[in-house]
A and B are shown apart, each in its own frame.
Chain A
Amino acid sequence: DAGVTQSPTHLIKTRGQQVTLRCSPKSGHDTVSWYQQALGQGPQFIFQYYEEEERQRGNFPDRFSGHQFPNYSSELNVNALLLGDSALYLCASATGTGLVTGNTIYFGEGSWLTVV
C-alpha cells in the first residue's frame, strides 16, 4: 500500500515563473491538504481539498491555488514565484472531513522548491 506520494522531489524555478506540484493521497483517502515549510520553521497550512473543492484555506495569497481530481489526487500551483516561496511543500491525506473524527493524517516526503 503506497503512502502519500509527491512529485517532483526537487525543483528550481526563477522568480516570476509558475510551478505545479503534484500529490497522490494514500489509498482510500479522499481529503488532501497542502502545507508550506520554510527552512527552520514548522509546516504552515495552505489549503485543503475534499470532493474536488477547496474546503479550507490558510493565510496564503491567491497566487497559491490548487485542484483536486476525481481520483482524489491533487495539484498545488504557485504563480509569480517570489524568492520567499522557496520551501518544502508537503501534502497530507486523510479520510473524510467534517464527518469522521480522529482519523490518521499521513504526510508525503515533500517537494523542495528553490526560487532563484
Chain B
Amino acid sequence: DAKTTQPPSMDCAEGRAANLPCNHSTISGNEYVYWYRQIHSQGPQYIIHGLKNNETNEMASLIITEDRKSSTLILPHATLRDTAVYYCIVLKHDYKLSFGAGTTVTVRA
C-alpha cells in the first residue's frame, strides 16, 4: 500500500478553516484516500474518502490533486471539538488500514 506523509502537528483558530495536507506520491490507480480522526481515548471517526474527484460531506471537504499524489482535508469552520489526531490513509479494496502518526490538530479559541 502507498505510504502517506503528514505534518506532525498544526494549530488552527476557532471559526477558521483548517487545511490538512497529505502527500501520497506512490499512490496507485485503484487506491482510495481515506481520512479519519481520533479524539483521545475514542475509536477512530470516519471523515471522508475519495478516489480522484473532490468530495464534500457534512464534516469536511477532500481535495485531491489531478496527479493524485497529494490531497488536502478541509474543515470549513473549525471548533474546539475538532481538536484530534487526523489520519490520512491510502487504501486498496482489502480494507486493511495502515495508520501512520497522523497530524495532531489543536483548535484554539
Report which A residues bind B (CB closer than 8 A). 4, 31, 33, 35, 42-45, 48, 55-56, 58, 88, 90, 92, 94, 97-110, 112
Known: A42-B101, A42-B102. A105 touches B95 (CB 8 A): yes
CA distance A33 to B81 in the complex (A): 27
A residues within 8 A CB of B49?
Answer: 102, 104
User: Which 7 pairs of residues, A with B, have the shortest CB-CB distance?
Assistant: A42-B99, A107-B43, A101-B93, A109-B43, A107-B44, A43-B99, A110-B43
Chain B count of residues within 8 A CB distance of the other chain: 24
CB pair A43 B93 closer than 8 Å: no
Report which B residues bind A (CB closer than 8 A). 30, 32, 34, 36, 41-46, 49, 51, 87, 92-102
Contact check: which of A33, A44, A103, A108 meets B99 at CB < 8 Å?
A44
CB pair B93 A31 closer than 8 Å: no
Extra pairs beyond A42-B99, A44-B99 (19, CB < 8 Å) = A33-B96, A33-B97, A42-B87, A43-B99, A45-B96, A48-B94, A48-B95, A56-B96, A92-B95, A92-B97, A94-B95, A98-B93, A101-B30, A103-B95, A104-B49, A105-B95, A107-B45, A109-B42, A110-B43
